[in-house]
Amino acid sequence: MRSRSPWSLLPVGLVGFVAAVGITFFADGPGGAVAASSQTTTPTTIAVDTSPSNIASGRTLFIENCSSCHGTNAEGSARAPSLLGLGAATIDFWVSTGRMPLAYPTAQAAEKPPLFDAKQTQAIVAYVTHLHPGGPGIPYVDVAAGDVSEGQILFSLNCAGCHTITGAGDALASGYYAPSLYPATATQIAEAMRTGPGNMPRFSPTQLTPAQLTDIVAYVHKYIQHPVDIGGLGLGAVGPVAEGFVALAIGVGLLMALAYWIGDRAVGPDAAPPKGDEGHGVTGAAGHAGH
C-alpha cells in the first residue's frame, strides 16, 4: 500500500528537474515557485522519466493490463474513459493506490494493494503522458515545510465535509464514498486534490496554492494519519456513535453485571442457615462473615 513514499520519488524528481524535463503545469500558481527555473526554488511537480526505454516498458505494461478497457493508445472505450491529457498525477494516483486495474466494476473503484511497483507505475505514467502531454503533473510536496495549523483550517473547510474531520472517511450517496485518508501517501493526497478522482472535486492551483496544498498534506500526514489520541483508545474516530455503544455495552453493561454480582442474596447451600439451625458449619460461617 505504501510502496510509493514521497521520498522514494524524490531522486527521480530531482534527476528530471536537472534535466529540465518537467511538466510545468503549476508554474502559474500564485504561491508556488516555477518548476525548472532554478535549483534553489522549491519544485512544484515531480518529473517523470521519459526515456524511450521507460516509455517502451510502460507501453508493454499498459497493453497487458489496461488496454482491454482503455484501448491500446489510452483512447478509451465504451467501458472506460480516455486517459489522454489527464496528466501524470491522475495516472499515478489511480495506479499507485491500487484502484487501477479495476478488480470488478462498482460505483467507485476500491483501493487495494497496488499491482505494480514504483518503477512499473512510473513506466505506465511515462507511457500515457507520452501519448498526449498535458494535465497536472505529479505534485511535489515537502511535508516538513507545511504549516499544520493552516492545514487544519483548510482541511476543515475543504475536506471534512466528505472525508470527515478525523479523515476516517464516510459513505456518500448511491454507493459512492469518501475513502479513509489513513493509507494515503503524501504524494497521493496531493494528487487526489489536484486531479479530483471520482466524485471528489478538483482543487486547481488557483483554489489551493502549492503552499496551501503542502499545508493540507502536512496536516493529514502528521495529524490525521497519526492522531493525537492522548485520551486512550480512538474508537475508530467515528465520533459519538462508537462512544455510545461503548458507554452502553461496556459502561452500563459492566455495571449491570456488577450489580448482578453483588445485588443478589446468595441462595442455596452457601446462604446463611435459618435461625436456630444447628448446622453452623463452614458455610454458615461464610454467610455471616460479612457482618
Partner 1 sequence: MLTQTLERQTTWLDDRLTLGKGSKKLLNKIFPDHWSFMLGEIALYSFIILVLTGVFLTLYFIPSTAQVVYHGPYKPLDGQRVSEAYASTIDLSFSVRFGLVMRQMHHWAADVFIGAIAVHMCRIFFTGAFRRPRELNWAVGVTLLMLAIVNGFLGYSLPDDLVSGTGLRIAFSILLSVPVVGTYLAFFVFGGNFPGTSIIPRFFILHVLIIPAVIAGLIAAHLGMMVHQKHTQFRGKGATEKNVVGSVAWPTYAFKTLGYFFLTAAVLAGLAGLAQINPIWQYGPFIPYHVSYAVQPDWYMGWLDGALRIFPSWETVAFGHMIPTIFYPAVLFPGITFTVFYAWPFIEDHFTHESRQEHHLLDRPRDRPLRTAIGSGVLAFYFLLFSASATDVLANFFGISLNIVLWSFRILVPTVPIIVGFVAHRICKELQTWEDVGERKRPTIILRSADGSYVGTTADYRPGDEPRELEPEPVPEAVGAHANGASTPELVGAGAGLAAPSQASAVPSGVLQAPRAPRNFDGGGGFLSNLRPRRQRD
Residue 46: strand pairing partners: 138
Q: Quick one: 38 or 104, whose CB is closer to partner 1?
A: 104
Beta carbon of residue 69, minimum distance to partner 1 (angstroms, whole number): 23
For helices 118-131 and 52-65, the axis angle rounded to 10 degrees is 100
Q: Quick one: 78 or 267, whose CB is closer to partner 1?
A: 267
Q: Quick one: 20 or 256, whose CB is closer to partner 1?
A: 256
Which grid cell sits at 159? 475536506
For helices 88-96 and 186-195, the axis angle rounded to 10 degrees is 130
Beta carbon of residue 116, minimum distance to partner 1 (angstroms, whole number): 25
Q: Which of 178, 194, 182, 192 is nearest to 221 (CA)?
A: 182
Phi and psi at residue 46, to the nearest 5°: -105, 125
Beta carbon of residue 221, minimum distance to partner 1 (angstroms, whole number): 12
Beta carbon of residue 95, minimum distance to partner 1 (angstroms, whole number): 22
Q: Quick one: 20 or 246, whose CB is closer to partner 1?
A: 246
For the chain, give the number of residues.
291
Enumerate residues 6+ apart whose C-beta is below 8 A from 24.
Answer: 34, 35, 36, 45, 137
What one-letter code names the amino acid at 75?
E
Q: Quick one: 36 or 186, whose CB is closer to partner 1?
A: 186
Beta carbon of residue 176, minimum distance to partner 1 (angstroms, whole number): 8
C-beta of residue 181 within 8 angstroms of C-beta of residue 2: no
